[in-house]
Chains A and B, each alone.
Chain A
Amino acid sequence: MIFAIKRFETHDGDGIRTTVFFKGCPLRCRWCHNPESFSRETEIAYNDELCIRCGRCTSLCDASVIKDNKHIFDRTKCTFCGECIDICPRGAYSIYGDNRSAEEIAEEVLFDEIFFKGSGGGVTFSGGEPLMQTDFCVKLAKILKERDINIAIDTCGYVSREAIEKILPYADTFLYDIKAIDPEVHKACTGKSNELILDNLKFIDSKGKNIEIRIPYIPEYNSGEIEKIAEFLKGIKNIKLIRVLPYHKYADSKYLSLGTKNLSPEKIPTKEEIQRARETLRRISGHKVN
C-alpha cells in the first residue's frame, strides 16, 4: 500500500524524479514529518483548521457532527467511502492509503518518463519504509527496470537482510538514513536500536551500490552524534554524498488531523549549527557533504 505519489521531486536523488511513498514504517522517529506513513492501514485525515462548518459532510456521514459550532469527527466510524472528499468545499478531508496494483502505480509513475530520461532522474521509493513491503517493492521495481528507469530506494535501514538482497538488483542508489550511532540515543529517538541499520549499510556498501546518506539534525536529540556518525561513515566507501537535513516543525497540523500523538521536538536548529555539523562530517568522514 502506498499513500502518495509526488512528481517533480528534485531533492530525492539525481535529476527530476517521481517519489512513491509506501505506507508503514518500523520506526517512530519523534520528528517524523510524515505521520501518515506510520501505519500500514488506510487512514482518514480531517483538518479542522480548514473546516467552515458548512454541514455538508455531516448530512451524509455519521462520522462527523457539528455541535455549538464545533466539528466533532469520530474516525472510528469511517468506512473510507470518500464521499466527504467530493463534497467538502474546503478540502478538509484526505484519505491516506492507496491499494492499487504495482502495474497501476507503474503506469502512473511512467507518465513522467520523458522528464526522467531528459534529466537523468527516475523514481524514488520512499515512505514510510518501502522495504517493509518487499515483494510489492520488487514487483514495481521490475516493471520500471524493464523501461530502464533509474530507481532510488529511500530507506531507514531497519529491514531484513533478505529484503535488501531482493531489491539490490534493481536499485541504482540507496538514500540511507543515519540518525545516531549510540544505540541508546537511537532507541530514544526512534524507538528501535540501530545495529541492524548500521550492518545493512555495510552490506550495501560491500555490494558496491551508490549511497547517499541523510542525517536529520535535531537539536538535543541527535545533535551530539555528529562526530560519531562521521567516524562511522568514514568506513563506507560508496557514499556519493552526505546530506544534513535540518529539522523543521512543519507537521503539527498533520498529526492533529490524523489523530496521531505528536511527540515532535520543539527546538529548530540554527543555520550555524547546521553549518558546523556539515563541516564536522566533511572533515572526519572525507565524503562530500551538503
Chain B
Amino acid sequence: MKPFNKNRKYIENEFEEASFDAVTGLSAEELYTKLSEMQEKSGDLERERFCAEAYAFLLEKLQLEINEHTPFAVKFNIGVDYSGFAGIDVFDSAIFRKQREKVLSEKLPEDYARMVDGDITGLSLIYTDFWHTVPGWDYIIPLGFSGVLENAKASRKKHENDGDARAVRFLDSVIIRYEAILGCMRRIYEYSLSFDVPEFSEAIKNLTIAPPKSLYEVMLFSVLFLYFEEIGCERGRTLGPIDSLYYPFYKSALDGGASLEEIKEMFRYFFIHFTATKRFAQQPFLICGSDVLGNDRTNELSHLILDVYDELNILDPKIHLRYHKNIDPEIFKKALSMIRRGNSSICIVNDEAVFRGYEKLGIPREDSQNYVLLGCYEPVIMGLEEAEVGVAWINSAKSIEYLLTGGRDILSGKYLGLKTDKSYATFDELFDGYLRQLDYTVDFAIEFAEKQSKYNVLMNPSPIYSSTFANCIEKGRDVHEYSLKYNNFSLKCFGLATVVDSLCAIKKFVYENGEISLEELTGALEKNWSGYEDLRIKILNDKDKYGNGRALPDNIMQRITEHLEEKYVGKEFSYGRRLRFGLDSIDTHLYRGRVTAATPDGRLAGEVVSRNLCATPGMDRAGITGYMQSVLKINSEAFLNSAIFDFTMHPSAIEGEKGLIDFVSLIKIFFDGGGFAVQGNIVNSETLKAAQNDPRAYSTLQIRVCGWNEYFVRMSKAKQDYFIKESELK
C-alpha cells in the first residue's frame, strides 16, 4: 500500500463520495421499501426473531464498495446521508423508529402524549436509549465473530436442555445475526478478490473463522463490529480503552519486527477511517486511567496514539482521556498542549470523581476502575454496566417559567408544570416552589423510563450488543432485560446557570429592592421583556451570576444540586436499577432554548439556555479561576452521568513553556479540587473573526492584551482587527 499521506485524500471523504456497485446487492431505496414492508407485516411475529431475520436480510442484500486506498477497505450501503454528520440508516427509519412509536403509543398512550408535548415545548427530551452502548470489547476481541457464535450455540444447547424457552429465543436471535455477519464477511471476501487489496482479503478471511491475531486484524475487527452493531440500530459509542485493549497486539507486532513507523501508519489509516465515517457526535476512544491501586495505565501505546492523533490534526475520532493523580505527567502535558493548540476534541475526565460517583451508587472501585467514557463524556463500566445514559434531558429553565405561571408553559399555553398557586411570601418559599416544579418534571421522566423499560426488547432487541457480555450469552438474556451485574439508568438536567441567575434576579429585584413585583415580572416575561428593557439591562449588568465564584449564585446552585443528589441520585428502581444523574446538555440547550420563553435573568425568549456546567453566555466575568471556583462548589461527583466543564481561552493567556506549565497546573488543581471533567476551547483567528461578526455568541472570549486579559467582543473594532491579524501570524 502507498504511504498514508498519498492515500489520505482518497479516504477522508470516501463515505460522502461512495458509489456502490449495483451487482453487489439492492439499492438503499429498495432495502428501505423491503424492510418497511416487512415491518408492516410483522404484526404478531415474535420480535427478536423478526428483527434478526430483517437484519439477516439486510446483511445479505446490502451493496458493498471496496476502496483500494485503505486497509479498512469496505463500505456498506445502508442509505445514510453523509453530507453532514451521518444521518439515519434504513433499519432505523424502516423498522426501529416505527416500532418504537407503535409500542409506546399503544402501550403507554397517555404518557406518550405527554412526552411528545414535553419534547415539542422544549421541556424535556425523553428517549429510549439503545443508542449509547459500550460493547464488552474485552470479551469479544479474544473470541472474534466465530467465537461469539460458538459460545451462543453452546449456551443455547444448555438452555434447551434446561427448558428455558426465553433463553433459547434470545440465543436464536444471536445465532441468526452472527450467521448473517459471517455470511456478509464471506461476501466481502469474495468481492474483495477482484480488487488489489490482498492483505485486506486475507484479514477478512481470518476474521471469518478466528479471533483477531494481529494489530491490523484487531483494528479491522473493531471497525467491522461497530458497523454490524450499528446496522441493527444498536450503536457502539466508544472503541474502548484502545491503548490497553490493543497493547498485546502492538507488542507482538514489535516482537514480530514491525517498526514503530509501520505501527503509526496503521493508526493513521485507522483514525482517518473514523474521520470519514462522520458518525453522529463523532466516534470516541479512551486512553490512560488508573487501576484500583492508583497505578497509572498509560503505556507506550498511549503515547504513540496521541502522537499520531496530534499529527493528523483531526477532530473525529475524539479522545477521552482519564486523569488521575499519578498519570504520566508527559502524556497529560501533551494532551493539554494539543488542547492549547486548538484541538478541542479531547475531553479529560477525573478518575477520582468518577470512582466516588460510583460509590454513591454502591459500586466499589474494584469494579468502577474499568469504566470507559461513551458518547460525549458519560462513564460506563465496560462489561459490567448498562447505564442507559440518555434516557432523558430535562430543561430546568422551564421550571422557572412554571414557578411563575403556576404550571403554564408561556409559549405553548399548555399546562405542563405542576399546577400551583403563584404567590410566594418569601424568597425561600419561592425557592421551594422551584424545586417542586423541577421535581415534577424529573418525576415524570423517571415514571416514563420505568414504564417503558418493560418494552425494551419489544421496541428494539439488542442481540449484537448483548452478545458482547459473557453474562448475556450465559444467561440467555438481552442486555435490556437487565442481565448485567449493574443495571442503571440516567437522566440529565441542563440550563442550571439560567435558573440560578434567574433566581438571583428574583431575590434581588423582587424580594430585596422591590423594583418589580412577582406578578409584573411574570407579565414582563410573557411579553418577552418588551416595555421592561431598562430593568432587563440592569439585571444583565448585575454581578450576581453563576460562574464568578460569588456567594449568592453559587449558594443557590449548591442548594439545587444538593437537592437533586439527595432526592434522586442512586435511588433504586425496578430491576434493581439505580438512577444516575448528569448536569450536561449536549447540544439540547440550543434547540430547547429556542422554544423557551424569556427568563428572569434577562434572557430573551428563544435564546439558548445555559449549557453543561457553564455560566450563562457572557456572564463569567471573573476569569477562569473564578469560573472554576463556582464549578468546584458543586457536588459534581454526585452527577456521574457527567458534569462537564467547558472553558474558552485565547492561546495568549497560556502561551510559551511557562503558559503550558501553568495550564497543566490549572487543570490539575481543578481535578484535585473535585472537578469532574473538562473540555477546552483555545481559540484562533477564525474564531475571532466569527466573534467579531456575532459578539453575543462569543461574549466570554478572553484575549490576553499585555499584562491582562480583555473580553474580545468589548474591544474596539481596530483592536479586534489587530488581534485577528496577530493570531493569523502565529
Contact = CB atoms under 8 A, between A and B. Distances in A.
Contact of A6 (B623, B719, B722): B623
Contacts, number: 102
A12 B665 contact: no
Contacts of B716: 47, 49, 252-253
Contacts of B537: 56, 86-89
Given A10-B658, A111-B549, A126-B707, A250 B541 contact: no
Given A50-B714, A111-B549, A7 B625 contact: yes
Interface stretch (B27-35, B239-247, B666-674): B666-674
Which size bracket describes the interface of A in this complex? 35 or more
B714 A250 contact: no
B709 A6 contact: yes
Interface in A99-126: 111-112, 114-115, 118-121, 126
Given A49-B716, A112-B625, A253-B716, A8 B707 contact: no
Contact of A33 (B541, B653, B662, B706): B706
B708 A111 contact: no
B534 A8 contact: no
Interface in A15-62: 15-16, 18-19, 33-34, 47, 49-50, 56
Contact of B662 (A56, A87, A119): A119
B624 interface: yes
B654 interface: yes
A85 B538 CA distance: 9
A108 to B, nearest CB: 10
A118 B669 contact: yes
Given A8-B666, A16-B662, A49 B717 contact: yes
A227 interface: no
Given A86-B538, A250-B722, A12 B622 contact: no
Interface in B680-730: 704-709, 714-719, 722
Interface residues of B, number: 39
Contact of A253 (B622, B625, B665, B719): B719
B626 interface: yes
A156 to B, nearest CB: 13
B659 interface: yes
Interface string A157-171: 000000000000000
Contacts of A8: 623-625, 653, 666, 709
Contacts of B722: 249-250
A118 B706 contact: no
Nearest to B536: A89
Contacts of B704: 11
B625 A115 contact: yes
B647 to A, nearest CB: 11
Nearest to A250: B705
Contacts of B666: 8, 16, 115, 119
A141 to B, nearest CB: 20
B625 A12 contact: no
A27 B718 CA distance: 28
Contacts of A126: 707
Contacts of B707: 6, 9, 11-12, 19, 33-34, 126
A9 B708 contact: yes
Nearest to B624: A8
A16 B663 CA distance: 9
A75 interface: no
A226 B60 CA distance: 78
Interface in B163-207: none
A16 B649 CA distance: 15
A89 B540 CA distance: 8
Given A6-B709, A126-B707, A118 B672 contact: yes
Given A8-B666, A87-B534, A250 B706 contact: yes
Contacts of B705: 33, 248, 250
Contacts of A118: 665, 668-669, 672
B528 interface: no
A191 interface: no
Nearest to B715: A253
Contacts of A111: 549, 626, 629
Nearest to B539: A86
A47 B719 CA distance: 13
B665 A7 contact: no
B662 A19 contact: no
Interface string B63-81: 0000000000000000000
A72 to B, nearest CB: 19
A286 interface: no
Nearest to A49: B716
A91 interface: yes
Contact of A7 (B622, B654, B715): B622
A115 B717 contact: no
A86 B536 CA distance: 11
A4 B715 CA distance: 18
Contacts of B714: 50, 91
Nearest to A257: B716
B538 A10 contact: no
Residue from B538, B541, B672, B707 whose CB has the most chain A CB atoms within 10 Å: B707
A56 B665 contact: no
B294 to A, nearest CB: 19
A189 B573 CA distance: 75
Given A10-B654, A248-B706, A15 B662 contact: yes
Contacts of B541: 85-88, 91
Nearest to B543: A86
Nearest to A60: B534
A249 B722 CA distance: 9
A216 to B, nearest CB: 10
Interface string B273-286: 00000000000000
Contacts of B542: 86
A206 B649 CA distance: 40
A8 B709 CA distance: 9
Nearest to A6: B708
A8 to B, nearest CB: 5
Contacts of B659: 10
Nearest to B622: A7
B545 to A, nearest CB: 14
Contacts of A85: 541
A4 B621 CA distance: 13
Interface string A171-203: 000000000000000000000000000000000
Nearest to A118: B669
B662 A10 contact: yes
Contacts of A18: 625
Interface in A116-156: 118-121, 126
A115 B669 contact: yes
Contacts of B534: 56, 87
Contacts of A245: 706
A19 B704 CA distance: 14
Nearest to B663: A10
Contacts of B622: 7
Interface of A: 4, 6-12, 15-16, 18-19, 33-34, 47, 49-50, 56, 85-89, 91, 111-112, 114-115, 118-121, 126, 245, 248-250, 252-253, 290
Can you list the 8 inter-chain pairs with the closest CB atoms, starting with the nearest? A119-B665, A118-B669, A7-B623, A10-B662, A49-B716, A253-B716, A89-B537, A7-B625
29 contacts: A4-B708, A6-B708, A7-B626, A8-B625, A10-B653, A10-B659, A11-B704, A15-B665, A18-B625, A33-B706, A50-B714, A85-B541, A86-B537, A86-B541, A87-B534, A88-B537, A91-B541, A111-B626, A112-B626, A112-B629, A114-B673, A115-B669, A118-B668, A120-B665, A121-B662, A250-B722, A252-B719, A253-B718, A253-B719
Given A8-B623, A86-B541, 15 more contacts: A4-B708, A6-B707, A7-B624, A8-B624, A10-B654, A10-B659, A10-B662, A11-B707, A33-B706, A34-B707, A49-B716, A112-B626, A118-B669, A121-B665, A250-B706
